[in-house]
Structure formats: structure tokens, C-alpha cells
Amino acid sequence: MKENRNNQKIGAAILFLGFALLFFILFSRVLFIQITGKADGHELKNEALQKYMRTDVLEAKRGTIYDTNGEVIAEDSTSFTIAAILDESVTTNPEEPNHVIDPEKTAEVLAKYIDMDEAEIRARLEKDGDPFQVEFGTAGRGLSNSVKRKIEAENLPGITFLRQAKRFYPNGRFASHLIGFTRLVEEKEDGKTSFEAEGQMGIEKSYEKYLEGQDGKIRYTSDLWGYLLPGRHEMVAEPEDGDHLYVTLDSKIQTFLEDALNEVEAQYDPSKAFAVVAEAKTGKILAMSQRPTFHPGTRKGLDVNWMNDLVEYSYEPGSTMKIFTLAAAIEEGVYNGKEIYKSGTYKVGPNQVRDHNAGAGWGDITYEEGVQRSSNVAMANLLEKMTPGVFRQYLEDFRFGQKTGITLPNEASGSILYNFPLEQVTTSFGQGTTVNAMQMLQAATAIANNGKMMKPYIIDKIVDDTTGKTIVKTKPEVVGEPISEETAAATLDVLETVVTAEHGTGRPYHIEGYDVAGKTGTAQLVGEDGKYLTGTNNYLFSFIGMAPKDDPELIVYVAVAQPKLDNESGSAPVSKVFNPVMRNSLQYLNVKPDENIVSKTVKLEDYTGKKTAEAREAYAKYGVDPVIIGTGSEIVKQVPAAGEKLLQGEKAVLLTSDKWTMPDMTGWSIRDVLKVTETAGLKLSYSGTGYVTSQNIKVNGLLKEGQKLIVKLEKPGNAQQANENAKEESDQSR
């Protein structure tokens, strides 16, 4: 018994010593770690700091795009991304939960505010794998501040928001293919996902390196849940915002163009329409747009046509190319406007070139009349006189077949089809050889600018966001002198007669008070099988005009493809863009009408009771600008009445038998407004003097006899006021 007790004491002593030794070892280890801050070679302080160190991105603001007058076209605005926290550990007080506690209710409420089905939202909230938080894809991004506030007012536990920048386009559909748009592109860094705005087309893409900016970073210590700790240590790298672009567009002129294209799109439903307005002496683009188009904020309509038709689309220009054949012939001294030739057909080997009236021609006529009538045979004869080799050099001098170098993506170069005699002849009148709209505009500047050809450009300047200094400034650039000053003036003289002569194809483009020089074009379109399409509407109708003729300020080029014509000529939709845009732009730029211009007077027949299409076509032939009130097929009233005299280019109003609709009166004189009120029996109230800048009845709105029409008039030339008015009208329309 005694021996057993001794053994127990010895065992207890050994066990005590063992525990003491173990405690000593552990105590020594803890003491060592406390003193040195190291364990197994690792710096514990650094690793703890790393564990609770958070890094967040400080987003750079994308540069703003302004028009030439400083009006905003595209800018960053704040938007929000919604997220739902699912991890229960973030809730420390059950009475105030910080995570989603009721997925069913949460999904039901969120479905009212984001574009996602309730079932799909609930599925995300009940996601397997115990995620810390979930987001809702594109449906949960780009939320406005007003939507964010509405969701917050629902008091949903666990719902939080991440702030981010969103691109805002205040003018909506406004030079959309030119300006482009941005898209949030997913980027991953250090296991974290972020979304960066990236330009996808147009200026937003071409000038990405200037606009994008450089994000900053902030690093800070936090607790387990990511909240900032008291006495935290922060490291901040400030973001560098993007630079600001000033484009050459003038918002007022751009609005003139957009409105005109809207009207043509609604009335004629063309497959394609595009137009550009430029300063004749500099190549500066003041407006450009196309249809179909899209809204850069929502991208609605982008699926119809992604391509910038004014830059990327190459096409046969048709008879507008005759401008440059004429200029080359004048420069070579082979053009004599009074010389007689036989129109109708021209033989090229086994083939025949025909004039556009099925080869009937107009008998023996002068070359001047041939240009006025847009005779293909006249061009073929001029080509023969100067020889194809010489004209080939002029095509190169006018820089056809070469990109203009305008700083926009994917510019087409076009191609000069000139290998065989028939191709050489057809090129002289715009068939076979292809161009893009910028090439046509560039070549036209040589005619309008004393022989000096100006490169078209769209960027005025780029301004550094930090310093406010201009880092890029575009200056007008002469890219060639294909013809002399004398030839340019002579060409303008001939092109003026295309608009003023009795048989000129450009008569519908006459503008009262301004002498216009220009040329029409009707180009066949090529189908998918490579063959020319047939049918009345399967053409690209166009007009390129310069005004005032003696000292051109503006060049306006308009083209409309496959419009739905109702017994009308192809000039109808084109003139509905060219005439108001050229007239309103000249007035806005304070280019005063020439009071000495004597317009021819015309005497109208009685068209009441006749078909609307017949009356419209007859008015166009008279050189009168017909305003059609209503959608009826028959004319019930006309102002001025039959037998009264009016000037070429003046407005005449035709009232149809059904659904009277309001025209766009922007830029009209009070005299023309009175014609509409007299025709439709409206009561007129107006203020100011000059030309119409606003109207109370919406364009294409239904009219009733006795309805009150209120218009505001302003004198042209006050650019600042005009821009303010345009902005107010844009704000009201939104």
C-alpha cells in the first residue's frame, strides 16, 4: 500500500513537471511572438494589416463633350448599382438587420424598380453557396438617383448601393453616330470586379485616350465587415479626370438638321438618309446626322444601323459627280457653255450611254443647258474633249479614292472604277466609281473656296481638365488646289443656273433671298446580288449646294435612299432637308438675304379638287415650296389662290381633305405663317420680329378650325440667344 502511494506521488510529480514544462514552452512562445512580432518567419503585424486593409477605386470622371459654343453634348452623371448583402454575420443587432431577411418580400419590391422578373430576383437572393452579397447584372446598374431614393424609402434590410458614373446625353438623338456612346466594360483586378466606361463608336471611341481619365485608389484599414476603423491610416491616389472635347458642331444648326431629317423620315420612310453642313472656307463641320439613328443613352435603334453612313458608307454618287467633271473641263479650257451638242445617247464601243430620260434627250442643246438638265451625254463629250487620262488626274487631285483622314473610326476610301472606256465615261457622271460623303464635301470646298480644297474636321479643341489649357487645337488645313480661283468662280456660275434655269433640275432647291449654286444627283443602288435595283424608288437622291453663290459661307450635302414616293420626284424629300437647313442656318449665322435678287414670279393654276400628289409635283416644278396641310388625297383649298402671283421659292399652302396637321414653322417669316392660318382658319397670336423660333402647336399635331396658334419671332444673328432658345426647347421636349 505504501509503495503504491509512493508511485502515485512520483507519477503526480512527473505529470506536474510535464505540464509546467509545456506551460513554460507556451509562455515562452507567446512572449517571443509578442516581443519580436514574428511567427515561423512571418511578420504578423503586416499580415494582420494586409487582412484588414481595404482598397477602393476612386473613379475618374470622363471628359465632357461640348459643341463649338460650349453647350454640353455628352457628360458624366452619377448613377448607382444595387446590391443585396446575404451574409447574416453583418447583423449585430437583430432588431436592425443589415442583411436580407425576407427574400420573397425583397424580390417583390425590387421587381417594381428594376427590369428583372420577381422570380429571378428571388433566385439570386436565395443563391446557394452562402455568398456575402449578390448583384443583379445590367438590370441593377445605371440606376438614377430618383430610383435609388424610391428603393431606399422601402426600407429593405440588406439592400445597398454602389455609386458610379453614367454617361448622359442631354440632347437625346443628336448626331448620335458621330458622337457615339460608352459602355460599361467589366474589369477584374486583385479578385475584385469593377466596371469602366469605354467609348464604343464615334468620337467617344476615337478620342478615348483623352476622354477616359485615370482612376485613383484609396487604401484604408477596416474591421471584419469592411467598416472604417477609428484612427485608421489612409493612402489616397487622386483620380485624374478626362480631358474635355469641343467639337465643331453648332447645336442650333444641328437641331435644324435633326428636325428636317425627322420630318423626312416620318413622311417618306427612306432606307437611309444622311446630311452634313460645313463651313465652305474651312471644312469645319457644323452639323451632321443620319437616319435611321439611335439614342446614345439607351442605345434604342442601334440594332438597325451601327454604321456612321457619312464616313463608313461608300456609294455611287450619281450626278453630283458632274460638278467635278465640269470643273475639270473648265480648267482644261474645253468647256464652252454656248457650244451645241446632240443629246440623247453617246456610243462607247459596243455600248451606249443614255441621258436620264431613257435616252430621248432634248435634241441639239448647249452644254450649259446640258449641265442644267443633268445630261450624261454632255459629260461624256466633255470627257472626250479633255481625254480620260487628264480627267483621271483630276479625280486624284480632288482626292477621290483616298480617305479624307477625318478623325472618326472606319472611314471608307471608296474606289475609282476607271479601267475600261465605259467605266471612264460612267465615272464622269457618277456611276461605277464610289465615294463617301466626306470626300464629296471635301471636293466641294475647292469649288466654294476659290480652288483651295479644305480637309473636313470635327474637333475644334481639346482642353486639359486640370490646367484648363488647350492641349490640341485644330486649324483649317488646305489639302490641295485641284482647280484655279477663276475655274471655281466659273463653275459656281454654271451651277447657279442649275437652280435658276427654267429646265434646271435644281429648281426645287431655290431659296428666296439667297442665290444657291448646286447639283442634283440620282444614283442607282446596287442590290445584294451585285446588280442595279429597278423601280421608281430604288435610287439615292441627293443635292449638294453652296450659298450664297458669290461668296459661299455654307455647303450642305443631303442624300436620301429609297424614299417611299407618292407620284413625287426624288427632289421632294431631299429639298425638305436642304432648303430649311440652308435657309435657317444662313439666317442664324446672320448672312443677310440679298435684297437685290429679283426672283421670277409664277402664276398658279387652280388645284382644288385635284390629287394632292399632282399638286405637290406641279408646285415643285414651278419652283414653289409647297406646304401640305393634312394627309388627304385631294386638295380642298390653296393659298395663294389660283391666278395670284408669287415668287419662286416662296411658300404656298395646300389644304387636303383629311387630318389637318401642323407643319414645322421654325425659320418661317410671319408672311408664311399667315398663309397657314388663312388656309386652316387658325387664330394667330405672335410676339417679336424676324423669323419663327417656337410654336405652341406641336409639329404634326392635329389642327382644328378656330384653334389658336402662338408663335415667337426673333431676328437672326443673335447666336447666344438662339442657343439659349434651342436649349430651352430641348429641355421642354425632354
| Distance (Å) of CA 94 to CA 131, 196, 317, 440, 597 | 20, 37, 74, 72, 86
In a 3-state reduction of DSSP, which class is residue 404?
coil
Peptide bond into 296 cis (omega under 30): no
Number of other CB atoms surrounding residue 590 within 10 Å: 11
| Distance (Å) of CA 143 to CA 11, 182, 644 | 75, 16, 60
What is the three-state SS of 258-307? Answer: HHHHHHHHHHHCCCEEEEEEEECCCCEEEEEEEECCCCCCCCCCCCCCCC
Question: In the predicted model, is pLDDT for residue 232 greater than 50?
Answer: no
* Dihedral sign for Cα atoms in the order 545, 548, 551, 554: negative
> How far apart (Å, rounded) are the C-alpha atoms in residues 517 and 496?
4
| Mean pLDDT confidence for 364-374 | 96
Nearest to 530 by CA among 432, 610, 618, 419: 432
Question: In the predicted model, is pLDDT for residue 330 greater than 90?
Answer: yes
Looking at this protein, which amino acid is placed at residue 27? F
> How far apart (Å, rounded) are the C-alpha atoms in residues 711 and 673?
9
Q: pLDDT tens across 233-255, in order?
A: 455 566 778 899 999 999 999 99
Contact 487, 326 (CB under 8 A): no
pTM exceeds 0.85? no
Question: In the predicted model, is pLDDT for residue 440 greater than 90?
Answer: yes
Number of other CB atoms surrounding residue 31 within 10 Å: 10
Question: In the predicted model, is pLDDT for residue 728 greater than 50?
Answer: no
> How far apart (Å, rounded) are the C-alpha atoms in residues 578 and 568?
17
Start-to-end C-alpha separation, the chain:
105
Name the residue with cell 415643285.
620
Domain residue limits, the chain: 2-51, 54-244, 251-588, 601-733
pLDDT, the chain, mean: 84
Name the residue with cell 405652341.
696
Strand 234-237 vs strand 453-454: parallel, antiparallel, or unpaired?
Answer: unpaired
In a 3-state reduction of DSSP, which class is residue 547?
strand
> How far apart (Å, rounded) are the C-alpha atoms in residues 153 and 155?
5
Q: pLDDT tens across 524-551, in order?
A: 998 888 888 988 889 999 999 999 999 9
List the single range of 37-46, 308-317, 481-490, 530-539 with lowest mean pLDDT. 37-46
> How far apart (Å, rounded) are the C-alpha atoms in residues 454 and 458?
13
List the single range of 233-247, 262-276, 673-687 with lowest mean pLDDT. 233-247
Kindly write down the DSSP assignment for every residue of 163-189, as one continuous string.
EEEEEE-TTSSSSHHHH--EEEEEEEE
Contact 353, 426 (CB under 8 A): yes
Q: How much is the pLDDT for 722?
A: 38
The length of the chain in residues reads 734
Question: In the predicted model, is pLDDT for residue 675 greater than 90?
Answer: no
Q: Catalytic residue positions?
A: 319
Contact 183, 215 (CB under 8 A): no
What cell does 78 get? Answer: 452619377
Strand 285-291 vs strand 272-279: parallel, antiparallel, or unpaired?
Answer: antiparallel
What cell does 196 get? Answer: 469602366
> How far apart (Å, rounded) are the C-alpha atoms in residues 568 and 201?
36
Kindly write down the DSSP assignment for every residue of 588-626, as one continuous string.
HTT----TT--PPEEE----TTSBHHHHHHHHHHHT-EE
The hierarchical CATH code for the domain 251-588 is 3.40.710.10
> How far apart (Å, rounded) are the C-alpha atoms in residues 614 and 634?
9
**CATH 3.40.50.2300 describes domain 54-244:** no
Question: In the predicted model, is pLDDT for residue 691 greater than 80?
Answer: no
Contact 545, 556 (CB under 8 A): yes
Pick the CATH number of 601-733 from 3.30.10.20, 3.40.50.720, 3.30.360.10, 3.40.605.10: 3.30.10.20
Strand 38-39 vs strand 53-58: parallel, antiparallel, or unpaired?
Answer: unpaired
| Mean pLDDT confidence for 431-447 | 97
Question: In the predicted model, is pLDDT for residue 491 greater than 90?
Answer: yes
What cell does 390 get? Answer: 487628264
Q: How much is the pLDDT for 719?
A: 35
